[in-house]
Structure 1
Amino acid sequence: MVWKVLDTRDIPLKCRSLPASERMKIYKKLTKTYKKPSDIPQGSLGMVRPMGLIDQAMVALFYAFILGVPLTAVPCLTIAGFYLGKGWAMALFGFYVALAIVPMAKDKRKEWIEGRLLQLLYHYSSYKVVWASSIEPYKNIPAIGSGGPHGVFPLGAVMSIPAMNEFLGIDFVGGMASVVFSTPGMRSIGSIGGIDVGKKSVQKAILDEGKTVGIVSDGISGCFASANGTDEYLAIEDKKGISKMALRNGLNIAVVHWFGNSVCLEPKVDSFGFLKTLSRKLKMSVFFFTGRFFLPIPTRDPIVMCIGESIIVKKKIENPSKEEVEAVHKKVVEAHRKLFDEFKGAYGGVYGGKELVICS
C-alpha cells in the first residue's frame, strides 16, 4: 500500500472543458505517491497558495450567501420590523420564504465539477486529497463513509462530494441534515450531490442505486465540540449508527478526516450548553460564528481530505448485537485517530501540537 496526494491547485483551469477521460489522465500525472505518511514533507499539506483578489471576492460572496443569509435572517427581520416598518419587514420575510421554497435541482454533480465556482472553492482552501491506495479495489463497491470533524460548517465534506466523484471515480453523494434543504441560502449546496441523511434515504442510495454515501459522523455535536479548546475534537464516542448500518447491510466503511475544517470558522457558544440542547431538539445548529474579517466567510486555512484504509465488513448481520456494533465502532474510532496522528505533521501549522479528542 502507498499513499497518494493530489493538490487541486496544480490542476489547470482548462481541465474543466476536457472530456472526463482526458481530465483523469491529467489528475494521475499530477498525483504524487509516498510509501508512508511520514514521507510527505512536513507542513506541505498545510501550505496556502496565492490567489487573486477578484477570485477571492467571488468565493467570499458565495460563502456570504450560503452561510450569511441563514445567520443574519433573524437580526435582519428584527431590525426591519422595528426601524423600517411592517411593509419592509413583510417584504423581507417574503424574500426569505422564496429562498426557502423555490424548487432547486437535486443532483448537479457534473455541472459543479465542470464549473468554475468549484475550482475557485478548491483554490481558496488550497484543497488537497490524500488517499490510501488500498481503497482503490473497493471504489466501485457501494459503501458508507464516516467523516469528520463537522466544525461550524463541513466545508471539507461539501467539497469532498465532487472530489470523490472526479478524482477517485467513485459514485459518491453526501448525507446532509434535512434542514439544509429548506434553509435559505444554504440549501443551494444540496445540488452538489447531497441527499437527506435519514436512514431510509441513505439505504436507498447505497442498496438500490449503488452509490457510496458519506456522512459527517459527529453532526450537530461536532459544531459545539469544535469550540472546546485547542485540540481537535470529534464527537463520535456514542454515535454508532454507521457501524450498525454497515453490519446490517454488509457495507464497508470509508474513514475520512478533514484537516482545516474545524479552524476556518470560529463558533461562539454559551458555556451553559443551552444552545447545544436547543440545537439537538430542533435538529439544526443554533449559534453564532465568525470567520475572515469577523464575517461568515471561512478563513483561507487549507482543507485536506485524508481517506484511510477501508474497514471491511465481511458479512451481513440482520440483528447485530451490542458487542458486534461496539467492535466495529471501535475500529472506526481507531481509524480516525490513526489518520489524524499520521497526517497532522504533514499538515503542520495549527495542527503541530494538537491531539484528537474523541468525545460525545
Structure 2
Amino acid sequence: MKIEFAPINIPLRRRIQTFAVFQWVFIFLFLAQCCLAVFVFLIFTSYWYIAAVYTVWLYLDWETPNQGGRRSEWVRNWTIWSYFRDYFPIHLEKTTDLDPQYNYLFGFHPHGVLVAGAFENFCSEATGFRKLFPGLTSYLCVLPFWFKIPFYRDYIMCAGLVSSVKSSVSHILSRKGGGNVAVIVIGGAEESLDARPGALTLRILNRKGFIKLAIKRGAHLVPVFSFGENEVFNQVNNPKGSFLRTMQERLQKIMGFALPLFHARGIFQYSFGLLPYRKPIYTIVGKPIIVQQNHTPSNQEIEALHRKYIEALNKLFEEHKAQYGIPERGHLFFS
C-alpha cells in the first residue's frame, strides 16, 4: 500500500484542528481505560486514600447521571471544540424555531461510528446551539456503562452527557417550565455496525421506547438528520451473516456497545489510521411533532406516533438531501 504523507507546510490552524480531533478520538476510545487504570493504580500505592475518598464520592454521586448530570459551561465553551468543528467542518442548522416553554426529545440519525455530529452540536457551544435555540438546554444521552468508570464519568458529564436509561431521560423531559432537550441516538450501537460512506439504513422500526416516553411526558418529538455522519470513517466489510458481523453482534449483546472495525487517516499521513476524514457534517434539526401527554398510552397511540415520526424524518431527509450531496435516487432504508 502506498502511503500518502501530509505536506510539511500545513498551516498551524489545521494542525491544531487535527490535534483537537485526535484528543476527541482518544476520549472516545482510550480515556476510559486510562481513568480506570489510574484508579486501580492508586489503590496499590501510598496514594490509596485518594481512591478511597473517590469511592465514597462515587457512591454518593451514583445517581447524578440519571438526574440531569453535572454540566460545565466552561468545558462546553473550550476553544478546542471550535477547532474540532472546523476540522470537518460541522454545521448545525434549524428548520424552525422551538418554543422554550416545552421540553423536547430529539431523535438523532444516523449513529455513524463515533457520533461526531451529535457530540459537537449538543455537547459544546461551538456550533451555536444556544444561539439557534435560545432558552433550550441540550443533554446527549449515552450508554449508562460509561458512567460507571471512575473519573471518566465526571469528565463526560461536564459536556452535558447523561445516561440513556429510561429514568434519566424521563427526568429531563419531566422538568417543569420546559426548555430541556434530551438527545437520543435512536439507532444505537447496533446501527454503528452499518456506518460507512454511502450508508442510508436506519434502525428504527423496532425502536418505540422513545415514542412511549415522549407521550408519557408530553415532550414534543423532533427528528434530526446529520448529513455526512457516515462519510467520515470507513469500516471493514461486515455483511449480515458474516463471521465478523456475527461476532460483533454477540459482543454488542454481551457488553451493551458495538465494536465497529473502522479506519480512516492518521495524524501525519492520509492512508490509514483512526482519525476521521475531513468531510463536512450538516446536522439538520427538523420541525417538532406536537405530542399530547398521556400517562397510559395505548399500543395504537404509540404505533400511530411512531409512523408519524418516521414520515417526518423521511420528509426531512428528502427535502435536504440534494443540498448535501445525496443523489436523487438515494433514499432512506428503515430496518
TM-score of the aligned structures, taking structure 1 as reference length: 0.70
More helix, by proportion? 1
Query: CA contact under 8 A between 2:111 and 2:188: conserved in structure 1?
Result: yes
Aligned match of 1:297 in 265, 271, 275? Answer: 275
Query: CA contact under 8 A between 2:172 and 2:181: conserved in structure 1?
Result: yes
Measured after TM superposition, the shift of residue 92 of structure 1 is: 11
1:62 alignment partner, SS class: helix
Aligned match of 1:215 in 175, 184, 188? Answer: 184
Measured after TM superposition, the shift of residue 164 of structure 1 is: 2.8
Query: CA contact under 8 A between 1:143 and 1:252: conserved in structure 2?
Result: yes
Equivalent residue letter for 2:232: C
Measured after TM superposition, the shift of residue 139 of structure 1 is: 3.2
Cα 1:236/1:184, change in 2 over 3 Å? farther
CA distance, structure 2, for counterparts of residue 248 and residue 196 of structure 1: 19
Aligned match of 2:118 in 148, 157, 173? Answer: 157
Cα 1:295/1:190, change in 2 over 3 Å? farther
1:318 alignment partner, SS class: coil
Equivalent residue letter for 1:159: E
CA distance, structure 2, for counterparts of residue 259 and residue 186 of structure 1: 29
Query: CA contact under 8 A between 1:70 and 1:184: conserved in structure 2?
Result: no
Measured after TM superposition, the shift of residue 96 of structure 1 is: 7.8
CA distance, structure 2, for counterparts of residue 57 and residue 238 of structure 1: 38
Corresponding position of 1:308: 286
Aligned match of 1:336 in 303, 307, 313? Answer: 313
Measured after TM superposition, the shift of residue 55 of structure 1 is: 1.6
Measured after TM superposition, the shift of residue 335 of structure 1 is: 1.5
Corresponding position of 2:5: none
Measured after TM superposition, the shift of residue 197 of structure 1 is: 0.6
Measured after TM superposition, the shift of residue 195 of structure 1 is: 0.6
The reply to whether residue 263 of structure 1 matches residue 224 of structure 2 is no
The reply to whether residue 167 of structure 1 matches residue 132 of structure 2 is yes
Q: How does 1:227-266 map to 2 (within 5 A)?
A: 227=196, 230-266=198-234
Corresponding position of 2:142: 176
CA distance, structure 2, for counterparts of residue 328 and residue 92 of structure 1: 42
Corresponding position of 1:145: 106
Measured after TM superposition, the shift of residue 353 of structure 1 is: 5.2
Corresponding position of 2:24: 63
Aligned match of 2:250 in 264, 277, 280? Answer: 277
Q: CA RMSD in A?
A: 3.1
CA distance, structure 2, for counterparts of residue 216 and residue 154 of structure 1: 8
CA distance, structure 2, for counterparts of residue 252 and residue 284 of structure 1: 28
> Where does structure 2 lack aligned partners over 5 or more consecutive residues?
1-10, 43-50, 267-271
Aligned match of 1:202 in 140, 163, 169? Answer: 169
CA distance, structure 2, for counterparts of residue 266 and residue 120 of structure 1: 23
CA distance, structure 1, for counterparts of residue 71 and residue 224 of structure 2: 23
Query: CA contact under 8 A between 2:138 and 2:183: conserved in structure 1?
Result: yes
> Where does structure 1 lack aligned partners over 5 or more consecutive residues?
1-49, 74-90
TM-score of the aligned structures, taking structure 2 as reference length: 0.75
1:52 alignment partner, SS class: helix
Corresponding position of 1:83: none
Corresponding position of 1:28: none
Q: What percentage of residue pairs aligned between the two structures are identical?
A: 23
CA distance, structure 2, for counterparts of residue 358 and residue 318 of structure 1: 28
Cα 1:70/1:132, change in 2 over 3 Å? same
Deviations 1:12-32 (A, max 9, x none): xxxxxxxxxxxxxxxxxxxxx
Measured after TM superposition, the shift of residue 352 of structure 1 is: 6.4
Deviations 1:125-154 (A, max 9, x none): 212122122x43x23311211111101111
1:257 alignment partner, SS class: strand
1:225 alignment partner, SS class: coil
CA distance, structure 2, for counterparts of residue 215 and residue 345 of structure 1: 26
Measured after TM superposition, the shift of residue 208 of structure 1 is: 3.1
Query: CA contact under 8 A between 1:226 and 1:267: conserved in structure 2?
Result: yes
Query: CA contact under 8 A between 1:128 and 1:305: conserved in structure 2?
Result: yes
Corresponding position of 1:129: 92
1:208 alignment partner, SS class: coil
CA distance, structure 1, for counterparts of residue 91 and residue 108 of structure 2: 16
Deviations 1:141-181 (A, max 9, x none): 11211111101111111112134334322111111111233
Worse-matched range after superposition: 58-67 or 325-334: 58-67
1:304 alignment partner, SS class: strand
Cα 1:353/1:124, change in 2 over 3 Å? farther
Query: CA contact under 8 A between 1:269 and 1:287: conserved in structure 2?
Result: no
Cα 1:165/1:281, change in 2 over 3 Å? farther
1:292 alignment partner, SS class: coil
Deviations 1:48-93 (A, max 9, x none): xx9833222322331341234279x6xxxxxxxxxxxxxxxxx998
Query: CA contact under 8 A between 1:150 and 1:222: conserved in structure 2?
Result: yes
Deviations 1:194-248 (A, max 9, x none): 1101110111122136422111111012111325x84312111110111111112
The reply to whether residue 191 of structure 1 matches residue 167 of structure 2 is no
CA distance, structure 1, for counterparts of residue 35 and residue 157 of structure 2: 24
